[in-house]
Structure 1
Amino acid sequence: MSAVQPARRIALDVILAVRESDAYANLLLPVRLQRAKLSEADAGLATELTYGTLRRQGYYDAVIALAAGRPVEKIDPAILDVLRLACHQLLSMRVAQHAAVDESVQLAKTVGSNSATGFVNGVLRTITRTPVSEWQDRALASAKNDDERLGILHSHPVWIIRAFRSALAAEGRDSELDDLLEADNVAPRVSLVALPGESTVAELDAYAATYSPVGAVLDGGDPLQLEAVRAGRARVQDEGSQLAALALSRVRPVVRGERWLDLCAGPGGKAALLAAEAAQSGAVLVANEVVPARAELVRKALAVFDPAPEVWELDGTTVGDDHADEFDRILIDAPCTGLGALRRRPEARWRKSPRDVAHLSGLQSNLLDAAITALKPGGVLAYVTCSPHLAESKVIVEGAVKKWGDAIERIDTPAVLATITGETLDLGDTKHAQLWPHRHGTDAMFIQLIGKV
Structure 2
Amino acid sequence: MSEQSRSPYRRPRRGSKPVQGGGQGASGPPAPRDPARRVAYDVLCAVEQRDAYANLLLPALLTERGISGRDAALATELTYGTLRLQGTYDAILEACVDRTLASVDADALPVLRLGAHQLLSTKIPPHAAVSATVDLARRVVGHHRGRFVNAVLRKVSARDLDAWTAVVAPDRDRDPSGYLAVVRSHPRWVVKELARALGEHSSTGLVRTERLLAAHNERPRVTLVAKPGRSTVEDLVAAGAEEGRYSPFAAYLPQGDPAGIREVRQNRAAVQDEASQLVALALSRVDAHGDDALWLDMCAGPGGKAGLLASLAGQRGARLLASEVQPARAGLVATAVRRAPRDAGRVIAADGTRPAWRPGVFDRVLVDAPCTGLGALRRRPESRWRRTETSAADLAPLQHGLLARAADAVRPGGVVAYVTCSPHLDETDGIVRRILAERDDLALLRAADYLDEVPDLAAGPDGNYVQFWPHVHGTDAMFLALFRKAARD
Calculate the TM-score normalised by the size of structure 1: 0.94
Contact 2:187 2:384 in 1 (8 A): yes
Count of aligned residue pairs for this structure pair: 446
Q: Which structure shows the higher helix fraction?
A: 1
**Residue 234 of structure 1: which of 263, 269, 291 is its match?**
269
The residue aligned with 2:446 is: 412
Instruction: Give the whole-Å Cα distance in 2 for the aligned partners of 1:113 and 1:37.
Output: 26
Match among 148, 157, 166 for residue 128 of structure 1:
157
Letter in 1 for 2:414: G
| Structure 2 unmatched ranges of 5 or more | 1-31
Q: Which deviates more, 35-44 or 271-280?
A: 35-44
Amino acid at match of 1:393: T
SS across alignment from 1:364: helix
Work out which of the residue numbers 446, 455, 458 in structure 2 matches 1:427.
458
**1:96 and 2:137 correspond:** no
2:223 partner amino acid: S
RMSD: 2.0
What residue in structure 2 maps to residue 12 of structure 1?
41
Which of 379, 388, 391 is equivalent to 1:356? 391
174 and 123 in structure 1: CA distance in 2 versus 1, 3 angstrom threshold: closer
Indicate which of 297, 312, 324 corresponds to 1:277: 312
Structure 2 residue aligned with 1:150 = 180
> Contact 1:341/1:387 (CA < 8 Å) preserved in 2?
yes
1:417 Cα deviation after fit = 1.0
Instruction: Check if 1:315 corresponds to 2:351.
Output: yes
**Equivalent residues of 2:292, 2:318 under 8 A apart:** yes
CA contact (8 A) 1:255 1:281 kept: no
**Aligned-pair CA distance for 1:174:** 5.6
Shift of 1:254: 9.0
* Partners of 2:62 and 2:68 within 8 A in 1: no
In structure 1, the residue matched to 2:221 is 189
User: Aligned equivalents of 2:245 and 2:111: distance in 1?
Assistant: 39
The code of the aligned residue for 1:70 comes to: R
Q: After superposition, what is the alpha-carbon deviation per residue over 1:147-173, rounded to whole angstroms, capped at 9, x for unaligned? A: 111100000001100100100007999
Q: CA deviation at 1:265?
A: 0.3
Cα distance, 1:377 vs. partner? 0.3
Query: What's the secondary structure of 1:391's corresponding residue?
Result: coil
- Per the alignment, residue 190 of structure 2 pairs with 160
Once residues 162 and 245 of structure 1 are traced to their aligned partners in structure 2, the CA distance between those partners, rounded to angstroms, is: 29
Matched letter for residue 58 of structure 1: G
Change (3 A) 1:173 1:189: farther
User: What is the alpha-carbon distance in structure 2 between the residues aligned to residue 399 and residue 253 of structure 1?
Assistant: 24
Q: CA deviation at 1:218?
A: 1.1
Following superposition, the deviation at residue 132 of structure 1 comes to 3.5
Q: Is structure 2 residue 254 aligned with structure 1 residue 223?
A: no
User: How far apart are 1:82 and its partner, in Å?
Assistant: 0.4
Match of 1:59?
A: 88
Cα gap change, 1:363 to 1:36, in 2 (>3 Å): same
Q: Is the 8 A contact 1:247 1:413 kept in 2?
A: yes
Report the alpha carbon displacement of residue 207 of structure 1 after superposing the two structures with TM.
1.4
Q: CA deviation at 1:115?
A: 2.3
Percent identity over the alignment? 47
Distance in 1, matches of 2:331 and 2:85, equals 34
Could you tell me whether the CA contact under 8 Å between 1:195 and 1:234 is conserved in 2?
Answer: yes
Residue 376 of structure 1 and its aligned partner are, at CA, apart by: 0.3
Shift of 1:188: 0.7
Tell me if structure 1 keeps the 8 A contact 2:294–2:362. yes
1:192-341 matches, cutoff 5 A:
192-205=224-237, 206-252=241-287, 258-305=293-340, 307=343, 309-319=345-355, 322-341=357-376
- How far does residue 142 in structure 1 lie from its aligned partner after superposition? 8.1
**Residue 41 to residue 439, structure 1, CA distance change in 2 (3 Å):** same
Amino acid at match of 1:442: T
C-alpha distance 167-34 of structure 1, shift in aligned 2 (>3 A):
same
User: C-alpha distance in 1, partners of 2:229/2:389?
Assistant: 42
Q: Which amino acid aligns with 1:446?
A: F
The one-letter code matched in structure 2 to 1:359 is D
Residues 1:214 and 1:52: Cα distance change in structure 2 (over 3 Å): same
Shift of 1:251: 1.8
Cα distance between partner residues in 2 of 1:391 and 1:257: 32
CA distance in 1, matches of 2:360, 2:103: 57
Q: Partners in 2 of 1:362 and 1:126 — Cα distance?
A: 48
Q: Mark the CA change 1:275 to 1:200 in structure 2 (over 3 Å): closer, same or farther.
A: same
User: What secondary structure, in the 3-state scheme, does the structure 1 residue paired with 2:42 have?
Assistant: helix
Query: Any residues of structure 2 matched to 1:8-47 within 5 Å, and which?
Result: 8-47=37-76
For 2:381 and 2:482, how far apart are their aligned partners in 1?
A: 29
Instruction: Give the C-alpha shift of residue 44 in structure 1.
Output: 1.3
Q: CA deviation at 1:308?
A: 5.9
Give me the whole-angstrom Cα distance separating, in 2, the residues matched to 1:382 and 1:341.
19
**Distance in 2 between residues matched to 1:261 and 1:113, nearest whole Å:** 55
2:118–2:129 Cα contact (<8 Å) kept: yes
Deviations along 1:391-443, one digit per CA (max 9) or x if unpaired, are: 000110010010002x110111001111xx3x534435511101000000010
> Partner amino acid for 2:155?
T
Cα gap change, 1:160 to 1:131, in 2 (>3 Å)? closer
Unaligned stretches of 5+ in structure 1?
none
Letter in 1 for 2:234: A
Q: Secondary structure at the match of 2:152?
A: helix
